[in-house]
Amino acid sequence: MNPMNPAQPASGAPLAPMAPVLDELPTASGPSGSQAGQDGPSMAPPLPGSGGMEAPAFKIRVTENLYLPPAMYGVWSIHASVTETNAQPWQFMPNTTYIWSLGRYGEVVKLMNLENRAQTSIQVDKVQGNTATFHYRNRMPLYDGQRDVIEIPTLTVHEDTLEGMVDKYERYFDRNQRLAVNNHYLIRVTGTRISGGRVQFGQSASPSLEVEPLKTE
């Protein structure tokens, strides 16, 4: 989907009491529990680099089921600018624009890039008024390895505009599952509404997910 790539580091206290760990992010191989959007969008498309680095670990925990603020659903013209990154200049595009569609279909919230038709289901982690934090993940096999990306947007909607930041964690692994690239991006996002949202309500059902730093002993 090519919406947002970078993202600001996940911060803040856990949203709910500790629950069973479903997955660890990001990893090249390992437990594969519930995931948000394996075929998801990405904001500032970067290119593979080199040099093995140690990547931050994340774990996903079960929390209550949450949805985006109603005003956030719709079609948006999005502009994204990378404000901070450890990546090399040739590894990413500093500014990108695209058309986003955010919609709810029963219990599923979807994000679509209308320019390339890529889409992903998202997991909403926190909602406060018209501000929401959500995440999605994209694991992509490559001819010489694998690309693994998780993006965590925190966005606020003001009637027909939205703004916020996205934390993006991007890793490339070689054929032997060795970490070759470990990049982090912080991206500023602004958007203007093109049309209203699409919401189809369904029965309330189970858990959403929370991403928090994985503490190491």
As a whole-number percent, the residues of the chain with pLDDT over 90 amount to 53
Residue 110 is assigned to a structural domain of this protein:
yes
Per DSSP, the three-state class of 13 is: coil
Residue 53 is assigned to a structural domain of this protein:
yes
* d(C-alpha 2, C-alpha 44), whole Å: 7
95 or 197: which leads in pLDDT: 95
Predicted model pTM: 0.66
Task: Note the pLDDT of residue 10.
Answer: 34
Going across the sheet that includes 208-213, the strands are 21-25, 58-63, 208-213
Residue 11 is assigned to a structural domain of this protein:
no
Residue 2 is assigned to a structural domain of this protein:
no
Residue 1 is assigned to a structural domain of this protein:
no
Domain interval for residue 59: 21-213
Residue 151 is assigned to a structural domain of this protein:
yes
Task: Note the pLDDT of residue 26.
Answer: 38
Other CB atoms within a 10 A radius of the CB of residue 106 amount to 12
Per DSSP, the three-state class of 94 is: coil
Q: What is the number of structural domains in the chain? A: 1
Residue 5 is assigned to a structural domain of this protein:
no
Task: Note the pLDDT of residue 84.
Answer: 98
| pLDDT tens profile 8-28 | 333 332 222 222 222 344 333
71 or 32: which leads in pLDDT: 71
Residue 13 is assigned to a structural domain of this protein:
no
